[in-house]
Amino acid sequence: MSAGEPIVSFPLPKQGVIPVTQHLGAPAKVLVKRGDTVKTGQLIAQTAGFISANVHSPFTGKVKKVDQTTDASGYKRQAVIIDVDPQEQWEEGIDTSHDLLREITADAKEIVEKIKANGVVGLGGATFPSHVKLMVPEGKDIRYLIINGVECEPYLTNDHRLMLEKADEMMVGIQVLMKGLHVKKAIIGVEANKMDAIKHLKDKASHYEGITVEPLKVKYPQGGEKQLIKALINREVPSGKLPLDVGCVVNNVATAFAVYEAVQKNKPLIDRVLTVTGKKLLKTANLKVRIGTPVSQLLDHVGGLPEDTGKIVSGGPMTGKALTTTEVPVVKGTAGILVMDREEAWKATPRPCIRCAKCTQVCPQGLEPYLLHQYGEMKRTEEAEYDGIMDCIECGSCNYTCPSARPLLEYIRYGKAETGQMIRNRKSN
């Protein structure tokens, strides 16, 4: 729907809320306090722990308070609230020009440091700190850098737009990552329904060494890390293993762009491109938004919420989170906002499983969702583990297909949490 909408820079809000946990891993440690003035791009919270990420101020202004706020998933999290000064002042050393910097001067070590310093995380959805991915453990032989250009979800077009509009920056970002990883080959996988992007990227890639573009079958969840690797280099990441174990590292196209900005421009990750979409919205948009901007303002931009809004989802329809309120900030992982009307939000009442095996047929991980969901419901964690519950990538395909409209993924998620707990307990004993 929104694939034809060029990326528009979204204006600064009056107030921004910047959670210190926008990534997978330990919350960052807050460095500022109430009353402090901050510049755009200034570090306001620092990594705490190996898997953690820096957070920078996306605004110039005054820290109103450091407090708990509700994030998109409904959890209370610590956040820095900033009263925004429209007169922007950037932190020293950040290149805010639009000039393309192709020459990579940083060496591998500096690359990792810059990515870490600038708080880059995976923008495809998992928000895993990007520098950690580049720190390949001894003995692992990495041969490919895989770039995920498969829009992780239907409806979202932010990556698609970025591929069309920022291909050069992306290519340099990919080369930066290649240098950081010491690999010679990068493959960009893009779904075949985005021929314009494929053509454009192929064009651009011919000017950069070692980068190829591969069209992929349109098939959800093609953007799942494991599915993508399988499609591109025909290797299957075994249960409980990482892409590293089959010789590759996967990054999303938006992350590649963020890496370009972080390393070449020294610009921290303080904004991102996201899609605002919905059938009943007056318009749809791809916006470049500062982290911390309230979702409600994005919705105002597209003409406000329609009368019969039934559900607002942060992310895509298959894996996104339903919002309880629009007063939540955009964070690094917000790939889109999807507004559904009541009809779309309506859920059929679950009925008994008729053992049709449809869920088993669609599961990309080769699991038996009907079984896992029973285990989840009945807390049978041992069996759940045996039948591979931890391998579930939470793609939602089983749930989508089930003719009995069973909430499979809800129970599987729950079962996963319980089973994960059991596994951790066993390890610590």
Contact positions toward other proteins, by CB under 8 A?
Answer: 74, 154, 226, 230, 234-239, 241, 305, 309-313, 315, 317-325, 338, 340, 342, 344-345, 347-348, 351-358, 360-361, 363-368, 370, 387-388, 391, 394, 396, 399-405, 407, 409-410, 413
365 in contact with ligand SF4 (CB under 6 A) = yes
398 in contact with ligand SF4 (CB under 6 A) = yes
358 in contact with ligand SF4 (CB under 6 A) = yes
- Of 273 and 395, nearer to ligand SF4 (C-beta) is 395
The tokens describing 153, both together, are 């979800």
CB of 425 to other proteins, least distance (A): 24
Which of residues 353, 390, 422, 423 is near ligand SF4 by CB under 6 A?
Answer: 353
359 in contact with ligand SF4 (CB under 6 A) = yes
> How many other C-beta atoms lie within 10 A of the C-beta of residue 375?
23
Distance of CA 212 to the CA centre of its chain: 23
- Of 36 and 391, nearer to other proteins (C-beta) is 391
369 in contact with ligand SF4 (CB under 6 A) = yes
d(CA 173, CA 155): 26
CB of 366 to ligand SF4, least distance (A): 8
Site of tokens 């708080």: 119
DSSP assignment, residue 334? Answer: -
CB of 405 to ligand SF4, least distance (A): 8
CB of 226 to ligand SF4, least distance (A): 10
Which of residues 69, 212, 297, 404 is near ligand SF4 by CB under 6 A?
Answer: 404
413 touches, from ligand SF4, other proteins, none (C-beta below 5 to 8 Å by class): other proteins
CB of 375 to ligand SF4, least distance (A): 11
- Of 53 and 359, nearer to other proteins (C-beta) is 359
The CA radius of gyration of the chain, in Å to the nearest whole number, is: 21
Distance of CA 392 to the CA centre of its chain: 18
- Of 215 and 306, nearer to other proteins (C-beta) is 306
Cis peptide before 221 (omega within 30 of 0): yes
d(CA 172, CA 253): 11
The dihedral sign for the CA sequence 255, 256, 259, 265: negative
CB of 390 to ligand SF4, least distance (A): 10
CB of 50 to ligand SF4, least distance (A): 28
CA atoms within 13 A on the CB side of 120: 30
Whether the CB-CB separation of 235 and 229 falls below 8 Å is answered with yes
C-alpha distances in Å from residue 63, one per residue of 39, 86, 282: 11, 14, 35
d(CA 346, CA 341): 9
Q: For the packed helices 167-181 and 108-117, what is the interaxial angle rounded to 10 degrees?
A: 120
SS3 211: strand
Q: Which of residues 117-136 bind ligand SF4 (CB under 6 A)?
A: none
392 touches, from other proteins, ligand SF4, none (C-beta below 5 to 8 Å by class): ligand SF4
d(CA 33, CA 292): 17
Binding interface with ligand SF4 (CB under 6 A): 353-359, 362-365, 367, 369-370, 392-398, 401-404, 406, 408-409, 412
